[in-house]
Amino acid sequence: MTPLRICLIASSRFPICEPFAGGMEAHTHALARELIRRGHDITLYAAAGTDPSLGARTLEVASFAASTQARADVAVSSDGWMEDHHAYLALLLDLSREAPSTFDIIHNNSLHHLPIAMAAAVPVPMVTTLHTPPVAWLESALRFAPSHSRFVAVSDHVGRAWRHVVSSRTIANGVDTDLWAPGPGGGGAVWSGRIVPEKAPHLAIDAARAAGLAIELAGPVFDHAYFADHIEPRLGGDVRLLGHLSQRELATVVGRARVAIVTPAWDEPYGLVAAEAMSCGTPVAAIRRGAMSEVVGKTAGRLAEPGDVPGLARAVLEAAALSRNEVRAWACRHHGLSRMVDEYEDFYRTVRLRGAA
């Protein structure tokens, strides 16, 4: 098939490079890398420091400091909010002039409202991936989305959550099953992700201890108060903090674990860490929130109800007894990167044809 010229819009704050700030950055990197490998012409707009192999253009976040007079306004937005606003505004104004001769399709993979709100000014079809449950700034932008805008949900759960304001096609996230290769298992438990209240790693620690397993935690500390109150006092002995790891380092850690624990304290839109663990053959014990029941198959893990730490401990022990080969097979069937990018390619071409009609 003829290669596509794709504009991929990412975060202006978090570079698309390892170690990734979170699942969205990992998703963007994997998608861009695989599209490039397939011969598409990708232009990625992202934060400074993005992986140079992706040939990214920097989303320029110019420094801004409000004047003393402006700061007197009780409703003044933060300087950081204004910086991001102007970075995306400048990009969308440029695209309104240049996109028709430069791109076949625009894929908005950011959480900023302006690509959605200003899509009508850009005469090229736009696809936006919905990575989160509904948030006010994106909901409000949808009233301005033109007919050639289309939306992708990363899970059926996310699609249902947005259905009151926009229809979407589900394209579940995917992981590189070659990178997240089968590991030997046999160790203790592992938890990975951003260390923030909504990911609730303290629950993973408590469940692992109740199950009699040591646990390793890997990920960046985003909420230092939460870390000081809930994680730091639990460290030591059977609980080890590994820090922020690259994907290859993390794949080794996850692959040697007996079980991965996933503890969303919010409606998890997808749960990339669960897919990564299962790809390594490591079964998952997770809290049933958001899309967890879609991601974790019965042959690949067990689910516990929110607020039930003893139940999660039982899920840890039950999951740890599952066949690692069957866990890996589930991940390869349902969560592979190739499947995800196949579906995005198909959707891009469909949206482009409808936009040209």
Instruction: Say which CATH number the domain at 133 has.
Output: 3.40.50.2000
Whether residue 91 sits in one domain with residue 232: no
Residue 184 lies in a domain: no
Q: Identify whether 194 is part of a domain.
A: yes
Q: Same domain for 144 and 208?
A: no
Listing DSSP states for 75-109 in one string gives TPPPHHHHHHHHHHHHHHHHHHHHHHHH-SEEEE-
Are residue 138 and residue 217 in the same domain, yes or no? no
Q: Which amino acid is at 261?
A: I
Question: Would residue 232 count as lying in a domain?
Answer: yes
pLDDT at residue 235, rounded to an integer: 98
Domains of the chain: total = 2
Nearest to residue 171, comparing CAs of 86, 268, 269, 238?
A: 269
Per-residue pLDDT of the chain (357 residues; tens, 9 = 90+): 789 999 999 998 899 999 999 999 999 999 999 999 999 999 999 999 999 899 899 987 666 565 565 555 555 567 677 888 889 999 999 999 999 999 999 999 999 999 999 999 999 999 999 999 999 999 999 999 998 899 999 999 999 999 999 999 999 999 999 999 999 999 999 999 999 999 999 999 999 999 999 999 999 999 999 999 999 999 999 999 999 999 999 999 999 999 999 999 999 999 999 999 999 999 999 999 999 999 999 999 999 999 999 999 999 999 999 999 999 999 999 999 999 999 999 999 999 987 643
Q: Is 123 in the same domain as 27?
A: yes
Residue 318 is predicted with a pLDDT of: 98
Check whether residue 132 and residue 222 sit in a common domain: no
Are 223 and 303 found together in one domain? yes
Residues 6+ apart with CB under 8 A from 345: 1, 4, 35, 38
Residue 183 lies in a domain: no
Tell me: do 244 and 344 sit in the same domain: no
Question: Are 166 and 312 in a shared domain?
Answer: no
Between the alpha carbon of residue 291 and those of residues 127, 272, 294, 296, the distances in Å are 22, 10, 5, 9
Pair 132, 243 in one domain: no
The confidence score (pLDDT) of residue 27 equals 96
Is 74 contained in some domain? yes
- Structural domain including 220 reads 189-334
Same domain, 344 and 320: no
Measure the CA–CA gap between 236 and 243, rounded to whole angstroms. 14
Residues 28 and 168 in one domain: yes
Q: Is residue 154 part of a domain?
A: yes
Residue 101 sits in the same domain as residue 51: yes
Residue 243 maps to a domain: yes
Buried b (16+ CB within 10 A) or exposed e, 99-124: beeebbbbbbbbbbbbbbbbbeebeb
Q: Is residue 236 part of a domain?
A: yes
Q: Which two tokens stand for residue 277?
A: 């663990």
